[in-house]
Structure 1
Amino acid sequence: MGPGGSVRLGAPGQDWDTLLPLVEITATGHGRTWSGERFIDTAIGERLAHRGHRTVQDGEWQRTTITLADPVTGLAAEVSLRTCPGAGFVRSQVRLVNEGGAPLRLESVSSLALGGLADGDLDGLTLHWADNDWLAECRWRQAPFRDQVVRLSRSAHGHDGRGCFERCSQGSWSTGRHLPVAALTDPAGRAWLWQIESSAGWRYETGEREGAAYVALFGPDDAHHQWRQLLAPGEEFSTVPATLAGAGTGGLDAAFGQLTDCRRRIRRAHPDHTALPVIYNDYMNTLMGDPTTDKLLPLIEAAAAAGAEVFVVDAGWYDDDAQGWWDAVGAWEPSGRRFPGGIQRVLDAVREHGMTPGLWLEPEVVGVRSPLAHTLPPEAFFRRGGVRVTEHGRHHLDLRHPAARAHLDRVVDRIVGEWGVGYLKLDYNINVGPGTESGEESAGAGLLGHHRAHLDWLGAVLDRYPRLVLENCGSGGLRMDYAQLAVTQLQSTSDQQDPLRCPPIAAAAATAVTPEQAAVWAYPQPHFDPDLVAFTLTGAMTGRVHLSGFLDRMDRERFDLVRTGLAVYKELRAEIPDSLPFWPLGLPAWEDSWIAFGRRGTDADWLTLWRRAPARGDDADDSTRTVPLDHLRGARLTPTLLYPATADATAHWDAAHGRLTVSLPRPGTAVLLRLDGRVPLPGRED
């Protein structure tokens, strides 16, 4: 606690001036004390004074609650900081209550604000952030901190700069531009890694303040998301949660280990997190939204023979419209034309082959040509300026409205309760913009309200059907955030259909989602050569296997490569939920020829290596790569080639230097290795 009773978060003995107020708040009429692009140095934040604090144990969680108050507006803030003893992360959320006598219009509120980082040593800092796009998810970039936050000769002016490095979401695709995850690292191995848990707008900023680095994490705000929240006297508002993970040594890999631990603790418990069944989906590179009984039955038989345990009929199963289904969806009734004997014939065939049936659904949209666009009340849809929002031939439901929620409950109760479907792939293929307005409500506040109602609806569905598995998909990975992933069981990581473009996405997926929730497509095709069949299977074995492809048309050699790969995956999957990710060659760049992703387990480490054709101008003789494994230096271990069994790869371990040298003679090949001193998995040969 500092001057005037204000509270700031930092290490003991930290220089007070380098720290930020515990909460940064802008409201109409109460802006910042230093104008610019930054959302720190706010007038309300500076005035907030300590009222009290308490720490309680809540199961495995330890929660410290700090209460603050602004003497000018009467705004009270309750900051909840949650962690687990021995863990390297803290999760923060702020609750505001207007205890004053006049309404207050909020324009931005931080979920977490932290200053004093790398005090006096900013030149050695590296900034890490991830760009995200359709078909090109999880593209991590890094730059020296000083390339983004330059020296300004502050001493000559007596003020900090006005700018910062920032990233934010835009519209309803929370990860349509960037991941809500970023980090700072220093040469000593320290790392500060953060995530914001919101599907309804987020923004982070980092910069220099008083000679030290700072980080401030926000949900939606007025400037970027058209979010304003009017708090009448007695009303309250809670921010979206945000998490900061740290590592004193070990750098970014160690920090991602801490964040992975946090993600596992905050999500809803579900048996899928440890069962990890192999999922076949008929869409990617296969039926592409054109399923019929005749097309599905041979795929079902082949998928079961290969080892799949869930079979998902993807988009198009409801399509009986001569003009196409895209702008006519909403009722989610099965197509009589596509399934002459009824869809139950297909679902029964899935069960008869020992698999769980699944269906694709896009619950939040109603096509403009759907009868539901006219039968549901206007208030059940997103509107702005009194006009219903239309995007790419669809309207968007507002799940705060009881009619919208009742409609979706009827759909799920029919599909799951009556038809016995055990897996729903929930897609989200439009960016509806800033949100929905109702009365004086801002568009961004409407989007946040819908987002919270959507999460509540998902939780209620799982309450009714606790073994139902929900896959979160947003045109691949465009809504890949831990607001969604704390409730749903899996995340579709990409729609990328080029197998040679998939490795950097598959390898970096664990930066955004735990490995056991990261669904990666594997779509081996009859015309693929054996190298490419193994290449696409190997990438999916890093997390969750999303199998596709015309397995029913494959020759024996290719089919056996698929079946053997799934058998290997089933042997190792029990170790995935307790493993922690690492990247011994660094986080992959989009054009890297060699990519490595590892998982540290309790009994062994696992390493996946991909070799692609070198980028233009690179050395074409790129058949061998030395992979540093410093955490295993001195260990007497045996690198075992698990898959593909026929690979002409070699691996040599140098224990003294902690280096693994791997040779992959041809581009377009990949290998999965186990690193320990024990015998290979049961049924495998050296």
Structure 2
Amino acid sequence: MSSPATQTIVDWHTDSLDIRIALDEAGAPCIEYIQSHGLAPSKFTSPYFESATLPLNGVRVAGQGQGLYKTAKSLAGGVLSARLKYKSHVERDSGKSKALDIVSTDELAGLEVTHHFQIFTGAPVLRSWTTVKNTSDTVQILNQVSSLSLGGLSAGTEDWYNNYSVYTANNTWFRELQWQERSLSDVGIDEVGLHALFQGHKATMASFSLSNRGSLTTETHFPMGALKRKDDDHVWLWQIESGGAWRWEIGDWQDSLYLVLGGPTLVDHAWQLDLAPGASFSSAPVALSRTSGGIDNAFAAMNDYRRHIVRPHPDHEYMPIIFNDYMNCLMGDPDENKIKALLQPALDCGAEYYVIDAGWYADEVDWWADVGEWEPSSKRFPSGFKTMIDTIRNAGLVPGIWLEPEVVGVRSAVAKQLPEEAFFQERGRRIEERQRYQLDFTHPAVQERMHRIFGQLVEEYGIRYFKIDYNIEVVTGSDVHDGMSTGAAHFAHQRAYMDWIEELQSRHPGLILENCASGGQRMEYALLSLHTLQSTSDQQNPLLYAPVAAAAPTAVIPEQSASWAYPQREWSDEKNAFTVMNTMMGRVHLSGRIDALDAHQLELVREGMQVYLRIRKDFLTARPFWPLGLPAWQDDWITLGMSKTDGNVLLAVWRRAGSTSLRLPLPGREHLLSAKVLYPESFEAEVAIRNGVLDIRLPDTPCARLILLEA
């Protein structure tokens, strides 16, 4: 049998989580348990092992392999991880959060590793990251620096391989945030008889991981995951805040489950970093929650945590209605007459901002390969762009524009003005993707030029809102940096870009920055901690947008989560109300040809926006839940609830097909006694609460309703 952790070095208590850090038999620090505050930790049970702890620091250097831990491709363990010995620790309390730093050293490699923990008051979520410092007099080559390694997640659970499910989220263009629940067996983790045959063998070769490489950080999969015990005794939910490449992994370890979270690695992302003597590198922050009572509570806790790490902005308190003229509207082809026609209808609907989307800088419609100068088109705005912006402002709307700062079109004059090192390169050639070049924000000329452009747009034109988009993908980093791998160069660019975003916010206080990358292809909290709000999708079909809008609170807090409403004259009233409903449980991105709507249709949109104005501040503290479970792409009925601080509930219901009636149990909400439709108020609907069940009957056509449930 393996030896348990030998010595406790700190019992760390916060208002929401208790954590014990102990040393294993080799003297490496490890997390012995994470438990809800005040509860006794689960007792580890196994016929083969006394402990399932894993070394805390998943650090790998060149030339040192896996040792006794899993396979060589696994994130877990490694020779150096087991050798890093505990040196010291320090605790801090800021009043808003508690912090714990664990310092470990390895004299042979000449490395000092500090593992940082942080827990914010009121949020049962552990934030974690690692700093590696080279204390030797020679260069050390890093291949991996994980942000959190934790064993024993299934401690106290017999037959654990049959008692947990894993949640992952697909996140593709037009189809964002689609969660799936699978058994451990379905992802290849199961009892295989290894321990009984080979006493003391620590683990099988099985693991399950997701990762992403490239500049679209949430393309294909979202950097989150969850493990849920089937009886809802506890849920582990995590997110990675990388801003670049990332990977997470689960697997079996000493008859239990382990989890490793981190940013780029050599194996997955060609990331290898030469760490000079005295230099340091910090990994991407990650967040891990432990909650009970089901997956909804886990997402609510993660949203509580996200509110702590987001850069404060008055926009989040006010949550203004934003009209953007792109989606199912001008579609990147604006001019002053088209915009003027939209201003009064936007005001009539309740809009407070007007954002001119793509095309304002180009004389022709075919502008894709010409972008980069970001100078207003005199052809589109013959009266002058300043006059256009003043017209928007004089109408009572705050002006904003779209911009894509990381790219330069191959036909742009800027492509010849900047030095070669300012662009991503491969073997002496610029990397071209979709007729565009990728700028490298580690180059001073790039940052200086973009600060100058944004400064002029803010100071000369009075722009107060920028939709910052990104619509190509570069998988590899630039190879022009001496002694730096392409993966390390890519990660350095992404961190430099985030530094530039933070500096932009500091130079222009109150400026609203929207994060967009072909919709939600960069929808993660390294960027969202710095940006004001997030575009959730480019989906243009309102019926297909519903599962995206309903799943949005799994990934983004409501005050940052902007979904589109784009009513059209040729649509039925039910379809126009449906598209309005898609935007009402977070931030409003209003669009569509509202200038073509008749008076009745315009009033339907206005009614929705007036309801939104009454409820929007509820979302600042509301906690999400999904009465029908997390939405699936082809579900007939979709629901999203928001529990308000007064105990009442806002419930969005979308019916796309199937039965016209729904019986919706409300477990844990027996105090709710009445139901009424808030929007659209006069449309056909029957809603009533009877014996703790909400009965809903809707028309036999795709439709959506906002319902208030009250005590």
Shorter-chain TM-score tier: over 0.9
Q: Residues 384 and 443 of structure 1 are in contact (CA less than 8 Å); yes or no, is this contact kept in structure 2?
A: no
Question: Matched residue of 1:533: which SS?
Answer: helix
Residue 442 of structure 1: CA displacement? 1.1
- Unaligned stretches of 5+ residues in structure 2: 1-22, 34-40
Q: Residues 534 and 562 of structure 1 are in contact (CA less than 8 Å); yes or no, is this contact kept in structure 2?
A: yes
Q: 2:519 aligns with which of 452, 476, 493?
A: 476
Q: Residues 605 and 674 of structure 1 are in contact (CA less than 8 Å); yes or no, is this contact kept in structure 2?
A: yes
Residue 650 of structure 1: CA displacement? 1.3
Correspondence for 1:71: 107
- Residue 609 (1) aligns with residue 609 (2): no
Report the residue type matching 2:62 in the other structure: T
Correspondence for 2:161: 122
Q: Residues 134 and 280 of structure 2 are in contact (CA less than 8 Å); yes or no, is this contact kept in structure 1?
A: yes
Question: Matched residue of 2:585: which SS?
Answer: coil
Deviation string 1:317-369 (CA, Å, 9 cap, x unpaired) is 000258x2111111100001111111122212211221111100001111111
Q: 1:279 aligns with which of 289, 307, 322?
A: 322
Residue 122 of structure 1: CA displacement? 2.9
Q: 1:56 aligns with which of 92, 102, 110?
A: 92
Residue 17 of structure 1: CA displacement? 3.5
Question: Matched residue of 1:240: which SS?
Answer: coil
Deviates more, 1:6-15 or 1:361-370: 6-15
Correspondence for 1:160: 203
Question: Structure 1's 61 and 636: CA in aligned 2 closer, same or farther, altered over 3 A?
Answer: closer
Q: 2:675 aligns with which of 617, 621, 639?
A: 639
Distance 1:110 1:17 in 2: 22
Q: 1:3 aligns with which of 25, 28, 34?
A: 25
Correspondence for 1:348: 390
Question: Matched residue of 1:449: which SS?
Answer: helix
Correspondence for 2:77: 41
- Residue 668 (1) aligns with residue 707 (2): no
Q: 1:91 aligns with which of 119, 123, 127?
A: 127
Q: Residues 518 and 543 of structure 1 are in contact (CA less than 8 Å); yes or no, is this contact kept in structure 2?
A: yes
Deviation string 1:57-93 (CA, Å, 9 cap, x unpaired) is 1240100000011232121110010002443111001
- Residue 195 (1) aligns with residue 257 (2): no
Q: Residues 277 and 308 of structure 1 are in contact (CA less than 8 Å); yes or no, is this contact kept in structure 2?
A: yes
Correspondence for 1:624: 661
Q: 2:271 aligns with which of 227, 233, 249?
A: 227
Q: Residues 672 and 709 of structure 2 are in contact (CA less than 8 Å); yes or no, is this contact kept in structure 1?
A: no
Q: Residues 107 and 229 of structure 1 are in contact (CA less than 8 Å); yes or no, is this contact kept in structure 2?
A: yes
Question: Matched residue of 2:603: which SS?
Answer: helix
Distance 2:319 2:255 in 1: 48
Report the residue type matching 1:671 in the other structure: R
Distance 1:625 1:176 in 2: 34
Report the residue type matching 2:438 in the other structure: H
Deviation string 1:628-657 (CA, Å, 9 cap, x unpaired) is 321212x143212100012211112134xx
Correspondence for 1:27: 61
Correspondence for 2:543: 500
Correspondence for 1:265: 308
Distance 1:2 1:628 in 2: 47
Q: Residues 123 and 302 of structure 2 are in contact (CA less than 8 Å); yes or no, is this contact kept in structure 1?
A: no
Correspondence for 1:542: 585
Deviation string 1:182-219 (CA, Å, 9 cap, x unpaired) is 10001232100000001210000111111111110010
Kindly report structure 1 stretches of 4+ aligned residues shifted beyond 4 Å: 12-16
Correspondence for 1:242: 286
Alignment of structure 1 residues 205-224 onto 2, 5 Å: 205-224=249-268
- Residue 135 (1) aligns with residue 157 (2): no
- Residue 306 (1) aligns with residue 342 (2): no
Q: Residues 200 and 444 of structure 1 are in contact (CA less than 8 Å); yes or no, is this contact kept in structure 2?
A: no
Report the residue type matching 2:174 in the other structure: L
Report the residue type matching 2:27 in the other structure: G
Deviates more, 1:113-122 or 1:307-316: 113-122
Report the residue type matching 1:64 in the other structure: L
Distance 1:586 1:609 in 2: 13
- Unaligned stretches of 5+ residues in structure 1: 615-621, 678-686
Question: Structure 1's 447 and 146: CA in aligned 2 closer, same or farther, altered over 3 A?
Answer: same
Q: Residues 172 and 435 of structure 1 are in contact (CA less than 8 Å); yes or no, is this contact kept in structure 2?
A: no
Q: Residues 52 and 254 of structure 2 are in contact (CA less than 8 Å); yes or no, is this contact kept in structure 1?
A: yes
Residue 245 of structure 1: CA displacement? 1.1
Alignment of structure 1 residues 166-181 onto 2, 5 Å: 166-181=209-224
Identity of aligned residues (%): 40
Report the residue type matching 2:169 in the other structure: A
Distance 1:123 1:36 in 2: 27
Q: Residues 75 and 100 of structure 1 are in contact (CA less than 8 Å); yes or no, is this contact kept in structure 2?
A: yes
Residue 29 of structure 1: CA displacement? 0.8
- Residue 409 (1) aligns with residue 451 (2): yes
Question: Matched residue of 2:29: which SS?
Answer: coil
Correspondence for 1:429: 471
Distance 2:386 2:667 in 1: 54
Residue 286 of structure 1: CA displacement? 1.0
Deviation string 1:129-183 (CA, Å, 9 cap, x unpaired) is 0011000100101111222113221222435221311111121100111000110
Q: Residues 36 and 163 of structure 1 are in contact (CA less than 8 Å); yes or no, is this contact kept in structure 2?
A: no
Question: Matched residue of 1:430: which SS?
Answer: coil
Q: 2:499 aligns with which of 450, 456, 478?
A: 456
Question: Matched residue of 2:264: which SS?
Answer: coil
Distance 2:141 2:672 in 1: 63
Distance 1:40 1:361 in 2: 41
Report the residue type matching 2:161 in the other structure: L
Question: Matched residue of 2:370: which SS?
Answer: coil
Q: Residues 202 and 253 of structure 2 are in contact (CA less than 8 Å); yes or no, is this contact kept in structure 1?
A: no
Q: Residues 65 and 72 of structure 2 are in contact (CA less than 8 Å); yes or no, is this contact kept in structure 1?
A: no
Correspondence for 1:619: none
Q: 2:418 aligns with which of 350, 365, 376?
A: 376
Question: Structure 1's 22 and 297: CA in aligned 2 closer, same or farther, altered over 3 A?
Answer: same
Residue 594 of structure 1: CA displacement? 0.4
Distance 1:665 1:553 in 2: 27
Q: Residues 327 and 369 of structure 1 are in contact (CA less than 8 Å); yes or no, is this contact kept in structure 2?
A: yes
Deviates more, 1:94-103 or 1:487-496: 94-103
Distance 1:336 1:360 in 2: 17
Report the residue type matching 2:424 in the other structure: F
Question: Structure 1's 25 and 636: CA in aligned 2 closer, same or farther, altered over 3 A?
Answer: closer
Question: Matched residue of 1:9: which SS?
Answer: strand
Distance 1:176 1:636 in 2: 40
Q: Residues 321 and 328 of structure 1 are in contact (CA less than 8 Å); yes or no, is this contact kept in structure 2?
A: no
Report the residue type matching 2:660 in the other structure: S
Deviates more, 1:147-156 or 1:303-312: 147-156
Deviation string 1:424-483 (CA, Å, 9 cap, x unpaired) is 000000101122221121111111111111111111111121111000000000001100
TM-score normalised by L of structure 1? 0.95
Report the residue type matching 1:661 in the other structure: D
Distance 1:103 1:587 in 2: 48
Distance 1:666 1:469 in 2: 41
Q: Residues 329 and 593 of structure 2 are in contact (CA less than 8 Å); yes or no, is this contact kept in structure 1?
A: yes
Question: Matched residue of 2:525: which SS?
Answer: coil
Deviation string 1:561-615 (CA, Å, 9 cap, x unpaired) is 000000000000011111111111111111001000111110221110100024x
Deviates more, 1:601-610 or 1:2-11: 2-11
Correspondence for 2:430: 388
